[in-house]
Amino acid sequence: MQSSDLKNLNIAVVGAGYGGAAAAKALSLLGATVTVYEQASRIREVGAGIGLRPSTMDRFRQWGIAGAVRKVSSPSDYFEILTATGDPIMKEPWPEIDAFGETTHLIHRGDFIEALLSVLPDGMVRLGHKLERIEDRGDGAVLTCANGTTVEADLVVGADGIRSVVRRQLFSAGEPVFSGEHAYRAVIDVDDAHGMAVDDNLRMYIGRGTKVYLLPLRHRGQVSFDITALCPDATWAPSVTKDDLLKTVEGFDERIVSITRGLDMETVNCRAVYDIDPVGRWHSDSVVLLGDAAHSMLHHQGQGANSAILDAGALADALREADSIPEALALYQATRKPATDELQRISRQGWSEDEVDEVFPGQKPASQRPTSQRTASEPPAAREAEV
Ligand SMILES: Cc1cc2nc3c(=O)[nH]c(=O)nc-3n(C[C@H](O)[C@H](O)[C@H](O)COP(=O)(O)OP(=O)(O)OC[C@H]3O[C@@H](n4cnc5c(N)ncnc54)[C@H](O)[C@@H]3O)c2cc1C
């Protein structure tokens, strides 16, 4: 689109998570007027770390914000996979380093969202605006928020996460799907890591039905300690005790058991893990989905947040390249959906058949069964946002 047309565009982004904040940055760089509507009155993130991949860092470089992200992250060269007792299985450099001349950066989720929001102009993000209803008028859309605000926009970007109102009202009635696993996440001091964080490598220890990730956050003197375990309890925010965690890491390296024993349970985020089935169409002529709203995936590939950032970049590119908004939205979907469909698929393959059979004898979790084999009550509706 011509830059004069882009400058006249009025864009509403729903959701100020990683996807919404990145979209706001990328789209405002086109010259469009962008406003972000976020339901929360304060942005909070789970205490945990993630890895920002080279392609993601490359987008930040293009947007002129790589410095803000680098300041609060540590470069990492390798990731390693080990057995539960620490025998090496594989050690590889992070993929994409050669393609982008950049490495993966390890970051605390809270620092990451702060860094993204800090590069947006004051007033661009409107907190306390929970979208209740969206009306697609073809050449624009109208948002109605729970606080009574009504907003008209030429283009609406639904970046409102796994339980997206935009997706469910306009594109797919499907509910989040329970994966049959829990994630327990905490950030601990490096001194409490029993000598397990000695460099900037991400290490994953694999036991039967349990994976333990140690993701160093050297710039903070901390380590993100994450346990993912098969578990049939689909409660969105399950109650989990220290004894439950200790049972989960039984048989792991004694130091992992000691870290677990030392955890302050008040700081441990416990949640059941959900994703969504692929959504057939992400856009109309004036509304488009992005990030988890479009393709929430399980975290076994560590790609959900990264994909949201790449979506934002691809959407801005498509608006620049295409002749109209509808054409741009089709181009955006064609560019991104094949990759995220595949990530959704492989992210569901986090466990071996017999591990799953052991925890779910005779009845696999919903995400590992085709939709046709799920009961009417599955998957249970998610009740609480991750933030
Ligand atoms: C256990 C676990 C580990 C993970 N590890 C990784 C990892 O290592 N690497 C990685 O890349 N990804 C990882 N992810 C995935 C990553 O967290 C998500 O993909 C990412 O947060 C998606 O960003 P988003 O902006 O699309 O959605 P969200 O982060 O969910 O943001 C959505 C925003 O929309 C707001 N919102 C929702 N509804 C409304 C409404 N009605 N009106 C207004 N605002 C609304 C929410 O409050 C929120 O701020 C992990 C996820 C889990 C569960």
Q: What would the pLDDT profile of 299-346 be if each residue is shown by its tens digit?
A: 999 999 999 999 999 999 999 999 999 999 999 999 999 999 999 999
Is the predicted pLDDT of residue 249 greater than 70, yes or no? yes
pLDDT given for residue 44 in this prediction: 87
Answer for the pair 212, 204: CB distance below 8 angstroms, yes or no.
Answer: yes
Distance (angstroms) between ligand 1 centre and the Cα of 380 equals 19
- Is the peptide bond prior to 75 cis by the omega test (within 30 degrees of 0)? no
Q: What is the tens place of the pLDDT at every residue in 336-361?
A: 999 999 999 999 998 888 888 888 88
pLDDT, mean of residues 197-226: 97
How many other CB atoms are found less than 10 A from the CB of residue 78? 16
The three-state (H, E, C) secondary structure of 245-261, written as one string: HHHHCCCCCHHHHHHHH
Question: CB–CB of 152/140 below 8 Å?
Answer: yes
Distances from the Cα of 202 to the Cαs of 51, 60, 86, 214, 228, in angstroms?
A: 9, 22, 13, 6, 15
CA distances from residue 49 to 23, 45, 52, 231 in whole angstroms, order as listed: 21, 10, 10, 22
Q: Please give the Cα distance from 156 to 158 (Å, whole number).
A: 6
**Which atom number of ligand 1 is nearest to the Cα of residue 293?**
26
The per-residue pLDDT for range 258-305, each reduced to its tens digit, is 999 999 999 999 999 999 999 999 999 999 999 999 999 999 999 999
- Cα–Cα distance between 23 and 284 in angstroms, integer? 18
Q: In this structure, which residue's CA is closest to atom 9 in ligand 1?
A: 302
pLDDT attached to residue 378: 53
Q: How confident is the model at residue 92 (pLDDT cuts 50, 70, 90)?
A: very high
| Tokens found for residue 222 | 């901390």
pLDDT of 374 reads 66
Residue nearest ligand 1's atom 2 by CA: 299
**Cα 17 to ligand 1 centroid, rounded to whole Å:** 6
Reported as a pLDDT band with limits 50, 70 and 90, residue 386 is very low
Nearest-angstrom CA–CA distance, 185 and 28: 34
Residue pLDDT, tens place only, 161-211: 999 999 999 999 999 999 999 999 999 999 999 999 999 999 999 999 999
Cα-to-centroid distance, 162 and ligand 1 (Å)? 7
Q: What local confidence, expressed as pLDDT, does residue 379 receive?
A: 46
Q: Which of 275, 299, 347 most suits a substitution to test ligand 1, by most atoms within 8 Å of the C-beta?
A: 299
The torsion defined by the Cα of 278, 16, 182 and 349, in degrees rounded to 10, comes to 30
C-beta 308 within 6 A of ligand 1: yes
Number of the ligand 1 atom closest to the C-alpha atom of 305: 11
What confidence score (pLDDT) does residue 317 get?
Answer: 98
Q: Does ligand 1 come within 6 angstroms of the Cβ of 303?
A: yes
Q: Which residue, by CA, sits nearest to atom 15 of ligand 1?
A: 304
Could you give the CA distance from residue 164 to residue 92 in angstroms, rounded to a whole number?
36
What is the model's pLDDT at position 350? 84
Take residue 6 and report the two structure tokens written for it: 């882009």
Rounded to the nearest angstrom, the distance between the alpha carbon of 20 and the centre of ligand 1 is 10
* Cα–Cα distance measured from residue 136 to residue 125, given in angstroms and rounded to the nearest whole number: 22
Q: How distant, in Å, are the alpha carbons of 58, 59, 157, 332 from that of 64?
A: 10, 9, 22, 22
Q: Which atom of ligand 1 is nearest to the CA of 145?
A: 42
Question: Could you tell me what percent of the chain has a pLDDT over 90?
Answer: 89
- Whether 384 shows a pLDDT value over 70: the answer reads no
Show the tokens assigned to 253: 């390296």
Atom of ligand 1 nearest to the CA of 165: 41
For the chain, domains (ranges, CATH) are: 1-43+127-176+277-351 (3.50.50.60), 46-111+177-275+358-387 (3.30.9.30)
Identify the CA nearest to 217 among candidates 71, 49, 381, 339.
49
Q: Give the CA angle between residues 318, 37, 19 to the nearest 5°.
A: 45
Q: Which of 38, 105, 210, 279 to mutate to test the pocket of ligand 1 (most atoms within 8 A of CB)?
A: 38
pLDDT at 94: 95
